[in-house]
């Protein structure tokens, strides 16, 4: 099946620093990638949808200047949490969709962010 | 508004059969998906129903009735490793993003 990787899997950082998370589709080209955030015991919250070569579409309430998304190629999207604060600590998960009528989203293993 | 409803918790014993229901109310509909998520892990895709009826994949089956805005995930011959959260998700027909339910926590006991 389709494989999506995320790096890093764990990040601990100080308040005020920026953190970049990479999401890669390893064996397929992803025309669309999605970034989610999940707090403990809660459902996934879609943050933004990113299409290769165009600006990301952010969900209501998600600050685009704080969560910078770049989808530079068909296999790579990055999420940068700028000036991270403790309340940004969460589980960040990306997913990728192949396109061309393929509707299934394949999820990366997630990145745990802890901001001290 | 858009919403999906599923039970928050289900408990069963090894070898049993469990059905997790999902009702949805969305502005558009492209299909109903089910995902499994173990504690600390990311969701893994289980099944996708775009048309009415039953889809069977091994011990797991998924059903959809579009006229009733309803679907279910059926897990048979439960094993301890099936203890996880199960999410239903509807693909919004307008923009094709997934709208997620709150998840059902399944506990399988010996």
Most confident of A43-47, B48-52, B61-65, B91-95: B61-65
Weakest mean pLDDT among A6-20, A93-107, B60-74: A93-107
Task: Tell me the two tokens of residue A99.
Answer: 């396109």
**pLDDT tier for residue A52 given thresholds of 50, 70 and 90:** confident
What mean pLDDT is reported for chain A?
91
Question: Over 90: is that where the pLDDT of A1 sits?
Answer: no
Distance from CA of B68 to the nearest CA of A (A): 22
Query: Tens digits of per-residue pLDDT, B68-106?
Result: 999 999 999 999 999 999 999 998 766 678 889 999 999
Say which residues have a Cβ less than 8 Å from residue B13's Cβ, sequence separation at least 6.
Answer: B78, B108, B109, B110
- A46 within 8 A of A62, measured Cβ to Cβ: no
Best mutation target among B98, B100, B103 (most A Cβ atoms within 10 Å) is B98
Weakest mean pLDDT among A31-45, A93-107, B38-52: A93-107
| pLDDT given at position B60 | 96
**pLDDT tier for residue A40 given thresholds of 50, 70 and 90:** confident
| pLDDT given at position B1 | 67
B45: nearest CB among A34, A46, A104: A104
Work out the average pLDDT over B13-28.
94
In DSSP notation, B47-67 reads: EEESSSEEEEETTEEEEEETT
Dihedral over Cα of B33, B36, B39, B40: its sign: negative
| pLDDT given at position A102 | 64
């Amino acid at each position: 099946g389709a494989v999506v990787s995320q790096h890093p899997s764990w990040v601990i950082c100080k308040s005020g620093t920026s953190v970049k998370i990479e999401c890669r589709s390893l064996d397929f080209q992803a025309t669309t990638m999605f970034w989610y955030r999940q707090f403990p015991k809660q459902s996934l919250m879609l943050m933004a949808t990113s299409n290769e070569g165009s600006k990301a579409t952010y969900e209501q309430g998600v600050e685009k200047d704080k969560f910078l998304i770049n989808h530079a190629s068909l296999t790579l999207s990055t999420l940068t949490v700028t000036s991270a604060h403790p309340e940004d600590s969460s589980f960040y998960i990306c997913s990728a969709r192949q396109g061309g009528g393929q509707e299934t989203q394949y999820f990366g293993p997630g990145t745990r962010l802890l901001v001290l | 508004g858009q919403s999906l409803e599923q039970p928050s918790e289900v408990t069963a014993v090894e070898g049993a059969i469990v059905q997790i229901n999902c009702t949805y109310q969305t502005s558009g509909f492209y299909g109903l998906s089910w995902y499994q998520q173990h504690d600390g892990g990311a969701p893994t895709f289980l099944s996708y129903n775009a048309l009415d009826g039953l889809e069977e994949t091994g011990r797991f089956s998924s059903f959809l009735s579009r006229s009733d805005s309803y679907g279910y995930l059926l897990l048979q011959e439960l094993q301890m490793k099936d203890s996880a959260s199960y999410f239903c998700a509807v693909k919004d027909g307008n923009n094709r993003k997934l709208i997620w339910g709150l998840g059902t926590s399944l506990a399988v006991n010996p």
